[in-house]
Amino acid sequence: MDAAEFRALGHQVVDLLAEYLEHIEERRVFPAVQPSELQPLFAEPLPQDPSPPQAVVGELETKLIPNCTHVGHPGYMGLITPSPSPVGVIADLICSALNQNPGAYSIGPAAVALERRVLRWLTDLCGYGPEAGGNLTSGGMMANFIGLKLARDAVTGDRAQHDGVREAYTVYVSEERHVSIDKAVDSIGLGRSALRALPTDARFQLRLEALEAALAEDKLHGRIPLCVIGLFGTTNTGAVDDLPALRHIADREGLWLHVDAAYGGGMLLSHQWPMRDRGLELADSITLDPHKWFYAPLDAGAILVKDQRRLTASFGIRPPYLTDELDQAGERYQFYVHGFEQSRRFRGLKVWMSFKRYGARQIGVWIDNNVRQAKLLHQLVAEQAEFEAASDPPMSAICIRYLAPGLTHHAARRLHALVAQRVEESGKFWISTTELKGKSWFRINPVNFRTREEHMRRLLELLRQESRAALQTAAVDPA
Ligand SMILES: Cc1ncc(COP(=O)(O)O)c(C=O)c1O
């Protein structure tokens, strides 16, 4: 591909995407397609011969784009994937063109500097001091894994990196944790049975007396508490744990405090409901995902650490083939020495460009709009008797359920699943379902700068119609 073809193709694709974004609301949120129809669309042997660029893009226009979940559509309020900021989309194109590899300074000197600035912005937002550091990751799953590994290494006095896990360590978190915590506890060698998933109160916050009881029980049986995890924005309802209390307990017990703010970190930019006074800065490490509520396109998660020397203690191995012999002065920062990954995408660019183009203030306005939409839905639900809400949403995630007296748990679960399916088929919205305290719920979560309040009213109306219709079907018959 010569420069002229690259230019022509680039212009064509940018025009295509501009058109796509401009008219995204006219599309179905979720395609009217069956899984069995998708594989055949792409079933062909490995191409041996070239195709004209127009033909390749043409296939994307006919096969890929119509069969996407259009997460930028204002009716997408499902699993946490935001409407990506357009400047972030452009940033990803630039990122691929330059193909900098910030893992090592020699493959991206300016990219390393820019990304370190982005990390500084994030650590400042969390209230950390100048000793803090971090890494951009593929997402919250990886960030929580690294947070737990940092905990393990610090509490074992940096022995576990060499000797493995020799003691019966335990980890504490609320039952509202994301599954990444379970995977992380397993991956750092503790085993999932080392995780204590503790009950929450009516606002879905970790019950401190349950934490105290679990600590006492474990110590009585010779187990060694290693880490407590606070949640700053649970996936289901946006609940925030009492972080100062967790810090107090962690200090008393010699525990690492990791906080999962993968979703809730967005609230640090809120103007109307600022959450900068909840004690996030008390954590030893924090997960915060710009690809959730900072509206960055995938992927951009982050693990942030109060004392960046802990990253080096956990990951600082320098094999000869990676050692930068040109760095006699020790000035060339090597992310691979201070983090888990080596080769990786220059994720910082889209976060940097978003903050530069929109400013934190504008992103905070989008966040407030999403919270306002969730609160409106909560108010609409409170004004009628057919639905109930799990809690007054502190963020933009809200769970509501249809109240059909006499339904068994199984039938209620079936009803919510059936309605979510009908919503998907409508093409107007996409929402998910979940379970909270033994009941089934619709989980609705605008993380979307195109969503407007009218969408919440229309969604509730659709849920009402479809729930009434589902009640009539044999599938949710209480018998
Ligand atoms: C609270 C929380 N933590 C972690 C994650 C995992 O993040 P990711 O999907 O970026 O890996 C999620 C995902 O929704 C989440 O809600």
Three-class SS state of 30: coil
Query: Which protein residue has the closest C-alpha to ligand 1 atom 5?
Result: 140
Given the CA of residue 144, which atom of ligand 1 is nearest to it?
Answer: 4
Contact 222, 251 (CB under 8 A): no
Summarize the confidence of residues 247-271 as an average pLDDT.
Answer: 98
Q: Which fold has domain 100-345?
A: Aspartate Aminotransferase; domain 2 (3.40.640)
Contact 387, 463 (CB under 8 A): yes
Contact 391, 439 (CB under 8 A): no
pTM exceeds 0.95: yes
* pLDDT-based confidence at residue 29 (cuts at 50, 70, 90): very high
pLDDT at 477: 58
Total residue count of the chain as it appears in this document: 479
Contact 76, 69 (CB under 8 A): yes
The DSSP output letter for 113 is H
Residue 315 Cα to ligand 1 midpoint, Å, equals 23
Distance CA 246, CA 263 (A): 19
Which one of 71, 77, 79, 80 would you pick to mutate in the ligand 1 pocket, going by the greatest count of ligand atoms within 8 A of its CB? 80
Which one of 136, 292, 443 would you pick to mutate in the ligand 1 pocket, going by the greatest count of ligand atoms within 8 A of its CB? 292
Number of C-beta neighbours around residue 396 at 10 A: 30
pLDDT in tens, 313-322: 999 999 999 8
**Residue 239, CA distances (Å) to 99, 204, 260, 397 in order:** 39, 6, 11, 9
Q: Is 141 in the pocket of ligand 1 (CB under 6 A)?
A: yes
Q: Is 180 in the pocket of ligand 1 (CB under 6 A)?
A: yes
Q: Is 289 in the pocket of ligand 1 (CB under 6 A)?
A: yes
What residues does 398 pair with on adjacent strands? 444
Contact 373, 456 (CB under 8 A): yes
Given the CA of residue 80, which atom of ligand 1 is nearest to it?
Answer: 14
Helices (H), 156-207: 160-163, 179-187
Which position has the higher pLDDT, 329 or 355?
355
Residues of the chain above pLDDT 70, percent: 99
One-letter amino acid for residue 187 of the chain: S
pLDDT at 330: 86
Distance CA 114, CA 132 (A): 16
Summarize the confidence of residues 89-110 as an average pLDDT.
Answer: 97
* pLDDT-based confidence at residue 405 (cuts at 50, 70, 90): confident
Q: Is 140 in the pocket of ligand 1 (CB under 6 A)?
A: yes
Distance CA 360, CA 125 (A): 10
pLDDT at 214 over 90: yes
Which one of 141, 258, 298, 395 would you pick to mutate in the ligand 1 pocket, going by the greatest count of ligand atoms within 8 A of its CB? 141
Q: Cα dihedral angle (291, 292, 294, 300), rounded to 10 degrees?
A: -20
pLDDT at 1: 87
Residue 15, judged by CB atoms within 10 A of its CB (0-12, 13-18, 19+), counts as exposed
Which one of 136, 179, 263 would you pick to mutate in the ligand 1 pocket, going by the greatest count of ligand atoms within 8 A of its CB? 263
Q: Is 258 in the pocket of ligand 1 (CB under 6 A)?
A: no
Residue whose C-alpha is closest to residue 78's, from 352, 420, 466: 420
Query: Scanning the structure block, which residue is given the tokens 């001091």?
Result: 129
- Extents of the domains making up the chain: 100-345
Summarize the confidence of residues 111-136 as an average pLDDT.
Answer: 98
Among 73-82, 118-127, 432-441, 465-474, the least confident range: 465-474
Given the CA of residue 298, which atom of ligand 1 is nearest to it?
Answer: 10
**Residue 447, CA distances (Å) to 71, 247, 375, 401, 428 in order:** 9, 29, 14, 20, 16
Which one of 178, 304, 443 would you pick to mutate in the ligand 1 pocket, going by the greatest count of ligand atoms within 8 A of its CB? 178
Residue 349 Cα to ligand 1 midpoint, Å, equals 21
pLDDT at 329: 86
Summarize the confidence of residues 271-281 as an average pLDDT.
Answer: 97
Q: Is 235 in the pocket of ligand 1 (CB under 6 A)?
A: yes
pLDDT at 479 over 90: no
**Bond preceding residue 299 cis, omega within 30 of 0:** yes
Distance CA 87, CA 109 (A): 23
Q: Which helix (H) or strand (E) holds 388?
A: strand 387-389
Structure token digits, residue 473: 């079907």
Among 273-277, 298-302, 327-331, 432-436, the least confident range: 327-331
- How does the average pLDDT of the chain come out, rounded? 96
Q: Is 303 in the pocket of ligand 1 (CB under 6 A)?
A: no
Q: Is 139 in the pocket of ligand 1 (CB under 6 A)?
A: yes
Contacts of 323 (CB under 8 A, 6+ apart): none
In 232-381, beta strands by DSSP E: 256-260, 285-287, 301-305
The DSSP output letter for 439 is E
Given the CA of residue 142, which atom of ligand 1 is nearest to it?
Answer: 11
Distance CA 179, CA 193 (A): 14
pLDDT in tens, 288-338: 999 999 999 999 999 999 999 999 999 999 999 988 888 888 899 999 999
Given the CA of residue 231, which atom of ligand 1 is nearest to it?
Answer: 1
pLDDT in tens, 365-381: 999 999 999 999 999 99
* pLDDT-based confidence at residue 473 (cuts at 50, 70, 90): confident
Q: What's the angle, vertex CA 66, arms to CA 62 and CA 71, rounded to 5?
A: 145
* pLDDT-based confidence at residue 478 (cuts at 50, 70, 90): low
pLDDT at 459: 98
Q: Work out the widest C-alpha separation in the chain, in whole angstroms.
A: 77
pLDDT at 158: 97
Contacts of 263 (CB under 8 A, 6+ apart): 80, 140, 233, 234, 235, 238, 289, 292, 293, 395, 397, 447
Buried b (16+ CB within 10 A) or exposed e, 80-113: bbbbbbbbbbbbbeebeeeebbbbbbeebeebbe
In 138-274, beta strands by DSSP E: 169-174, 195-198, 224-231, 256-260
Given the CA of residue 177, which atom of ligand 1 is nearest to it?
Answer: 1
* pLDDT-based confidence at residue 382 (cuts at 50, 70, 90): very high
Q: Is 260 in the pocket of ligand 1 (CB under 6 A)?
A: yes
- Helix (H) and strand (E) counts for the chain? 15, 11
pLDDT in tens, 192-213: 999 999 999 999 999 999 999 9
Summarize the confidence of residues 237-256 as an average pLDDT.
Answer: 98
**Residue 356, CA distances (Å) to 81, 350, 360 in order:** 22, 10, 8
